[in-house]
Amino acid sequence: MKACVTGATGFIGGNLVQALLKKKYTVRALVLPGDPKIQELKKNKVEVVLGDIRDMESVKKAVKGCDVVFHCAAVVTDWAPERLFEEITVGGTKNVCEASVWAKVKRLVDISTNDVFGLREDVVMDESFPLEPWGEPYPDYKIKAEEITWRYHREKKLPVTMVYPCWVYGEGDQTFVPLLADAIVKRELIFWRKDVIVWPTYVHNLVDLLLLIAVDKRAIGNGYLVHDGEFVTLQKFCEGIANTLGVKPVTTHIPYWVAYAAAVVMEFLWKTLNIEKRPLLTTYTVKNLGSRLQFSIDKAKRELGWKPKVSFQEGFARTMDWLKTLDSVLLKTK
């Protein structure tokens, strides 16, 4: 089997590449020229195609001759020019779909997000729920990209499977856990709603599902939510990080409306002053870290016989062991 991975130097893509190599796949990666991880990929016998997902010829070169394409590339922040969301998240997905049809791939596995199902708290959401915009660029452009993918499935018979990860964490994470740890150590973290629910997704559980989907024909035309099978409150998650680092847990709470108003003001000022660095608060962050959403992974269990191999407790423990090795975090605790 030959697999192409877009976003291969990212957190999910990087772990997926390693898992594919262990499964004896031949792996090809579409990587931007100058990416610092290019030599590491080549050292691991990954075929590197230098190019941009916004360039159709680059994408065609990457997917040509591949059995399966894992599309992991996207704008993964909530603070970027909308032009980039349009060009990379949406335009890049269109290029991957078009190239995959051209190359006659056997499967396109597209990484979406649980965010696409909206912000309803009154129900347990599953894959049957309609896509609901947030009024925020990250989830809303993900929805636009997903709509393109399903259109290619309907109109051009592209064999698509969609995956909806919840909060992905694990060793090597460069955003979620390290940023929370940094805010906890600096005493910059605040909460704006009690008992906020998060659904952790240990990266190896996600990759395990991706590998199954790549070869299971029952997955074609379907989408699957994925998490560790249980939720935890944001406060408990952060308390675990604080205990790992030997610092006092954060207990500061402010009203939700105060946090949201502050985010609106910060975003306005940052945009007015053309500040590229992400503000401390954004409206997306306030919504995302202030919700009590519920998600079911019963479909993957029922249809594919999949279940998380690593419990949240074990995944969190492994991640904390890794976190303790990071000089960037440990130096701030001293």
User: Catalytic amino acids?
Assistant: 142
* Bridge partners, residue 160, by sequence: 108
Going by DSSP bridges, is the β-strand pair 2-6/68-71 parallel, antiparallel, or unpaired? parallel
E strands, 214-263, in order:
222-226, 232-233
At a CB cut-off of 8 Å and minimum separation 6, what does 236 contact?
A: none
Going by DSSP bridges, is the β-strand pair 197-198/232-233 parallel, antiparallel, or unpaired? antiparallel
Alpha-carbon separation of residue 326 from 14, 15, 241 (angstroms)? 19, 18, 13
Task: Give the span between the Cα atoms of 182 and 176, in whole angstroms.
Answer: 10
| Placement of tokens 């000089």 in the chain | 327
Query: Following DSSP, what letter does each residue of 134-154 receive, concatenated?
Result: -SSHHHHHHHHHHHHHHHHHH
* Bridge partners, residue 223, by sequence: 162
Q: ∠17-22-24 over CA atoms, to 5°?
A: 95
Task: Give the span between the Cα atoms of 119 and 288, in whole angstroms.
Answer: 9
* Bridge partners, residue 109, by sequence: 70, 161
